Amino acid sequence: MHNFAIGIDTGGTFTDGVIFDIDNGLVIAKTKVITQRENLEVAINNCLGNLLNILEKKQNNKYILDNIRMVSLSTTLATNAIVEGQGADVGLILIGIDLDKKYPTNYFAKVKGKMDVRGKEREKLDLEGVKKAINELKGKVEAFAISGYMSIRNPMHELDVARVVKELTGYPTVCGHELSSDLGVYERTVTAVLNARLIPLITDLIEAVKKNLRSKGIKAPLMVVKGDGSLINEKVAMEKPVETILSGPAASVLGGKVLSKIENGVVVDMGGTTTDIALLRNGKPAINEQGATVGGWLTRVKAADISTIGLGGDSIVTVSKNRTLDVGPQKVYPIAWISDEYSHLINELKEIKSKNYFPISSQPTTVLRLIKKPERIELSDLENKVIKIIEKEPHTIFYVSKVLEKDPNLLPWERLVKIGSIHRAGLTPTDILHVTGDFQIWNSEASTIATDIMADRLGVSREAFIERVLDLVYFKIFRLIVESCIKDTIKISFEENTPHGEILKEMFRGKKAKDRFVSFFARLNVPVVALGAPVRAYFPKAVKKLNTSLMIPENADVANAIGTVNSEVIERVKITVKPTEGGAYTVYTPEGKRIFMGLDEAYDYGEEYGREYAYNKALEAGASGIEIIIERNESYSTLAGGAYNDRNKIFIETVINVTAKGKPYK
């Protein structure tokens, strides 16, 4: 019996698809289509339709279709939403937490109630305060996140609040203890908020894939890539979408290894929205045990150690009121693409250029396009008027301000972008390539007008502007690679206007200094594997500055989709055993705690619980042929000034790590 799989990667700009021969490691068919955020179903339908059309032309197409073992999905939508600050508005209920820190939501309430480090209730939950907070927040949000102090030791308070949220609102609800068993209440809280924010986004994507699979008669199970490169089934992914942050980058690392056949190197994936990098050592990416950092937020999501920046072919090119040029981190539709769809925008751009229109708080080339009207968010009168103007077709801010007879700097469009109701178009590196002629599939005239508008704003010629934009893209790629390769050995910050930042610029320029004794340059000791659609336009010049070899393998444009079908289901659980009063031992599990009088008895329970828990999680995630691996790590200390020996050592804790591995198909 032969094994084939369909791999799909949905990015912020393109959706890639492959039909892959798992047994022989061969691409049978591949495609790349535009991702439409306002209607993900269109992209999925086009992707699967193209793959099946290609397959129909092959002699053994029925045999291949009959032996599709799984459909595997990776996505950068979760990562992109966090980087760009988008997603559902979330109401956060903090139980016994009084940290003066920023959270990924502006809507939160603090209520009384507290557990101690041993999981005992130190302060009762204020249920009346909980009800009041929920009722005050529910008109402003679309989901709830709940985080309690020491909930990993006893989740009772979080579960009680979740029950009340369901009773009063029926909204999606996420508890911190469900996502992480690690200490670090702030990081766990951030993870819960992000998970709640992402539920509608990932649910829409998965439902679109399932609907299209059914319509095309494909009955194989649907799997989703997690941030650590392992797989879960679609049900688990919809419950814990935060697990899919860095899903796309993790898949690209796997795809990069398969395509390049190297064991050690730097894998960089550039898409329309982000550029992601991972170091491949001995054939595997390192796992960040502390949790992934995305968009500046440190989470408790175990993921491949991947660095992500907001830089891609569709990153917005901006010129500030102080005439400072930048690229990213936000993604926008390219002017070339949206003007190809809506030709009236060319006349609006021409009028902007003729009037030297330069708003202070936004970019002159910004176009607003309606994605969807908010369902649960209350809008101001002016916000409703903005939506009405762009309801049938997109328009520039310049046009909207004219219709409303309002100062463009006072238009309330930014919140509508943040909640995903509106998406912008603007000048991007993709537009720059349309002007240079290196990439021309949409409207080059619109790109040229927009480039001239921005060049005027910067006060330079069109040619000088293009050179500066491309040079900035090359530098950001160079900086990302250098920082990622040295971060584990040398703690250096290359921030702007610092000595190290200036040295990095000197390294990038790579010019020999004839008038001084020292020259700075970079040399990488391993190859760079570049993946993604735009890499041929940007990476040759960027990597040349690193004095190493560049590999752009065949099928690099669909590497993520290839990576999705080259993984397995992996579920992990951590059980902690600690000494407690009276010579007893407490075993802490994701579901609570139990006390035992003997250490061996505690170990036996912890390992048996972990074995069953990890096995069931792997089974729930879609695994077959499950293998269990148990590791026990004991920690001891000594009395002050005493030698370390069996009589003097003091037991601190034991961590039992249980891993369940299995194939994603039978």
Name the range with the highest mean pLDDT among 51-65, 279-293, 451-465: 451-465
The Cα-based distances of 649 to 387, 480, 603, 625, 636 in angstroms read 68, 45, 19, 41, 6
Over 70: is that where the pLDDT of 52 sits? Answer: yes
- Sign of CA pseudo-dihedral 225, 231, 232, 234: positive
Joined together, the tokens standing for residue 313 give 């072919």
Which one is predicted more confidently, 450 or 620?
Answer: 450
Q: 109-113, 179-183, 586-590: which has the minimum mean pLDDT?
A: 179-183
Grade residue 117 by pLDDT with cuts at 50, 70 and 90. confident
Over 90: is that where the pLDDT of 645 sits? Answer: no
- Cβ proximity of 2 and 12 under 8 Å: no
Mean pLDDT of 304-317: 88
Over 90: is that where the pLDDT of 59 sits? Answer: no
Strand partners for 278: 267, 306
Over 90: is that where the pLDDT of 78 sits? Answer: no
Q: What pLDDT shows up at residue 640? A: 56
Mean pLDDT of 443-466: 96
- pLDDT tens, residue by residue, 597-608: 999 999 999 999
Q: What pLDDT shows up at residue 34? A: 86
Q: What pLDDT shows up at residue 512? A: 61
Q: What pLDDT shows up at residue 348? A: 96
Torsion angle defined by CA atoms of residues 632, 633, 638 and 643, in that order, rounded to the nearest 10 degrees: 90
The CATH T-level fold of domain 4-82+202-260 is Nucleotidyltransferase; domain 5 (3.30.420)
Query: Going by C-beta distance under 8 Å and a sequence separation of 6 or more, which residues neighbour residue 496?
Result: none
Q: Which residue, 228, 177, 95, 121, is CA-closest to 569? A: 228
Burial of 443 (0-12, 13-18, 19+ CB in 10 A): buried
Angle at 162 between CA 159 and CA 163, to 5 degrees: 90
DSSP string, 476-534: HHHHHHHHHHHTTT------TTSHHHHHHHHHHH----TTSS-------SS-EEEESTT
Grade residue 108 by pLDDT with cuts at 50, 70 and 90. very high
Over 70: is that where the pLDDT of 388 sits? Answer: yes
- pLDDT tens, residue by residue, 131-150: 999 999 998 998 999 999 98
Mean pLDDT of 537-555: 93
**Measured distance CA(550)–CA(541) in Å, rounded:** 10
Beta strands in 22-134 (DSSP E): 26-34, 68-75, 90-95, 107-111, 114-115, 121-123
Average pLDDT, the chain: 88
Q: What are phi and psi of 66, to 5 degrees?
A: -70, -20
Over 90: is that where the pLDDT of 447 sits? Answer: yes
Joined together, the tokens standing for residue 335 give 């002017």
Query: Going by C-beta distance under 8 Å and a sequence separation of 6 or more, which residues neighbour residue 272?
Result: 11, 12, 13, 14, 312, 313, 314, 331, 430, 533, 534
What proportion of the chain, given as a percentage, has pLDDT over 90? Answer: 48
Over 60: is that where the pLDDT of 642 sits? Answer: no
Q: 496-505, 538-547, 638-647: which has the minimum mean pLDDT?
A: 638-647
Grade residue 357 by pLDDT with cuts at 50, 70 and 90. confident
- Cβ proximity of 602 and 596 under 8 Å: yes
DSSP string, 323-339: --EEEEEEE-EEHHHHH
Grade residue 639 by pLDDT with cuts at 50, 70 and 90. low
Q: Which residue, 181, 132, 128, 123, is CA-closest to 157? A: 123
Mean pLDDT of 94-104: 89
Q: What pLDDT shows up at residue 30? A: 95
- Cβ proximity of 425 and 333 under 8 Å: yes
Q: What pLDDT shows up at residue 511? A: 66
- Cβ proximity of 126 and 164 under 8 Å: no
Q: Which residue, 385, 352, 392, is CA-closest to 369? A: 392
- Kindly state the DSSP code that residue 362 receives in the 8-state scheme: S
| Residue boundaries of the structural domains of the chain | 4-82+202-260, 324-458, 569-663
Q: What pLDDT shows up at residue 368? A: 96
- Sign of CA pseudo-dihedral 352, 353, 354, 355: positive
Q: Give buried/exposed letters for 611-648 (b at 16+ CB in 10 A, else e).
A: bebbbebbbebbbeebebeeeeeeeeeeeeeeeeeeee
Q: What pLDDT shows up at residue 163? A: 94
Angle at 461 between CA 457 and CA 462, to 5 degrees: 90
Q: What pLDDT shows up at residue 452? A: 97
Q: What pLDDT shows up at residue 82? A: 83
Q: What pLDDT shows up at residue 164? A: 95
| 569 CB neighbour count, 10 Å cutoff | 27
For strands 222-225 and 68-75, give the pairing. Answer: parallel
Mean pLDDT of 621-625: 90
Specify the DSSP element, H or E, that contains 7.
strand 4-10
Angle at 113 between CA 108 and CA 114, to 5 degrees: 110
Grade residue 591 by pLDDT with cuts at 50, 70 and 90. confident
Joined together, the tokens standing for residue 546 give 């690193």
Q: What pTM was computed for the model?
A: 0.75
For strands 265-270 and 275-281, give the pairing. Answer: antiparallel
